[in-house]
């Protein structure tokens, strides 16, 4: 039997990325319709944020030098010349010996360079206060442009627009943003052994897991799942589904039928329906060695064959499909942490090994406990909350070693 000619994980990623380069389109949407989307361009501020000096506390704007040497037993007495209202411009120009009341977020008057919290002040007469705290220049003050300079970048291209990012854009008066459109994805699960969720599997049968798991993973990562199929291992059925999917999808994912057994049809069907067809069949990774990558120039569709085992299918989808999609849009918020390994872990010689782990923390330090299981056992994934990649040139990892853990 002909053996698979394997590529490294990074080589496979980069080859697929080359075929799909420029695939993402852009569109402009209202800010409140952009939640969870990815910015297609840098967003710059038209003016400094904030555009005026403002107080971070309720208190009295002062000249800091007037408070030097002040304490609870030696107060300073200052003339209160203005009560500034939130949302209104400060009109006074403070001189030495003067102060002005300012609320949180209120504008500082000209001449003031610090704010004393109201808790450290008390009225002394109708027009003056006693100050019991010494403040330095800039204390309790946000300066002009301290958050974002004029024409400064508020958010970079590739940023996912979570609520905090939406708020930052709103503060700059940004009402519309350019985002990447979602890649359209079709999922085809194959196998004579598959039955629907509402049926009781007979001996030799299993419920269809991959359609649901992959669709959920795809949607979580911003794909537009346009169609799904569950098919028997019949070549004509698979050809028909792939042909139809190529007309409406940017990526077609086929789970099952990717190795070289008698019923493994995926590579043959991809080659028959596309040009250049299969460009990779086999990746030096565990799990997921029989992964197939193909491409059709006419429809500009990537055709990807995943292993049928659910754990392997989801890992390869994460490591290749999601990785390539994020690179296409310049997404720059990859989530990982460093953790100390709790036990020794072996790895497959000559293969990148994806080791699932369960993260925990103790007294501020993260620990990674390896989760062991075969590629068809879903509890391997449900027990894990991250994974680490073991280099193909390493012979495993040792207890206590610091590893990079990607969160899932």
What CATH number is given to the structural domain containing 250?
3.40.980.10
Do 37 and 163 belong together in one domain? yes
Does residue 4 form part of some domain?
A: no
What CATH number is given to the structural domain containing 167?
3.90.105.10
- Mind giving me the DSSP string for 44-81? E-SS-BSSS-EESSSEEEE-GGGGTT--SSS-EEEEEE
Phi, psi of 242 (to 5 degrees): -65, -45
Do 176 and 32 belong together in one domain? yes
Give helix then strand counts, H and E, for the chain. 8, 26
What's the number of domains the chain is made of? 4
Helices (H), 198-342: 210-220, 235-246, 266-273, 310-316, 323-328
**pLDDT value at position 382?**
84
**pLDDT value at position 376?**
57
Domain span at 354: 336-407
| Tokens, residue 320 | 């290749």
**pLDDT value at position 24?**
82
**pLDDT value at position 184?**
97
Residues of the chain with pLDDT under 70: 1-5, 258-263, 332-333, 374-377
| Eight-class DSSP state of 85 | P
**pLDDT value at position 6?**
82
Strands 276-281 and 292-296: what pairing? antiparallel
**pLDDT value at position 262?**
47
- What's this model's pTM, rounded to 2 decimal places? 0.80
- Domain final position from 291, 307, 328: 328
Give the dihedral sign, CA 239/244/249/255.
negative
Cβ atoms of 9 and 15 within 8 Å: the answer is no
Does residue 256 form part of some domain?
A: yes
The angle formed by the CA atoms of residues 317, 204 and 373, to the nearest 5 degrees, is 45
């Amino acid at each position: 039997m002909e053996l698979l000619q394997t590529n490294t994980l990074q080589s496979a990623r980069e080859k697929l990325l080359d075929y799909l380069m420029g695939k993402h389109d852009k569109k402009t949407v209202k800010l409140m319709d952009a939640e969870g989307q990815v910015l297609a361009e840098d967003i710059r501020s038209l003016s400094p944020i904030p555009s005026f000096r403002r107080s971070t506390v309720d208190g009295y704007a002062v000249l800091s030098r007037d408070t030097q040497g002040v304490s609870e037993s030696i107060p300073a007495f200052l003339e209160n010349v203005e009560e500034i209202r939130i949302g209104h411009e400060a009109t006074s120009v403070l001189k030495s010996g003067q102060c002005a009341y300012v609320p949180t977020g209120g504008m500082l008057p000209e001449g003031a360079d610090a704010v004393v919290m109201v808790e450290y002040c008390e009225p002394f007469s109708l027009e003056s206060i006693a100050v019991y705290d010494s403040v330095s220049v800039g204390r309790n003050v946000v300066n002009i442009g301290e958050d974002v300079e004029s024409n400064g970048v508020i958010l970079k291209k590739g940023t996912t627009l979570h609520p905090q990012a939406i708020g930052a854009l709103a503060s700059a008066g940004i009402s519309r943003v350019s985002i990447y459109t979602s890649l359209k994805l079709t999922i085809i699960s194959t196998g004579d052994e598959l039955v629907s969720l509402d049926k009781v599997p007979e001996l030799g049968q299993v419920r269809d897991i991959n359609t649901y798991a992959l669709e959920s993973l795809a949607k979580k990562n911003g794909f537009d799942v346009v169609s799904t199929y569950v098919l028997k291992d019949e070549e004509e059925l698979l050809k028909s589904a792939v042909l139809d999917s190529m007309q409406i999808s940017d990526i077609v994912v086929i789970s099952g039928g990717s190795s070289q057994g008698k019923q493994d049809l995926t590579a043959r069907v991809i080659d028959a329906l596309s040009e250049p067809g299969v460009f990779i069949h086999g990746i030096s990774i565990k799990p997921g060695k029989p992964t197939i990558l193909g491409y059709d120039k006419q429809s500009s569709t990537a055709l990807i064959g995943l292993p049928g085992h659910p754990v392997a299918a989801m890992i390869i989808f994460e490591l290749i499909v999601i990785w390539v999609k994020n690179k296409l849009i310049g997404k720059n918020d990859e989530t990982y942490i460093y953790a100390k390994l709790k036990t020794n872990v072996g790895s497959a010689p000559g293969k990148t090994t994806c080791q699932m782990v369960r993260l925990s923390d103790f007294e501020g330090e993260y620990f990674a406990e390896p989760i062991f299981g075969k590629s068809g056992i879903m509890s391997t994934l449900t027990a894990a909350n991250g994974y680490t990649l073991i280099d193909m040139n390493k012979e495993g990892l040792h207890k206590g070693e610091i590893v990079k853990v990607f969160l899932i």
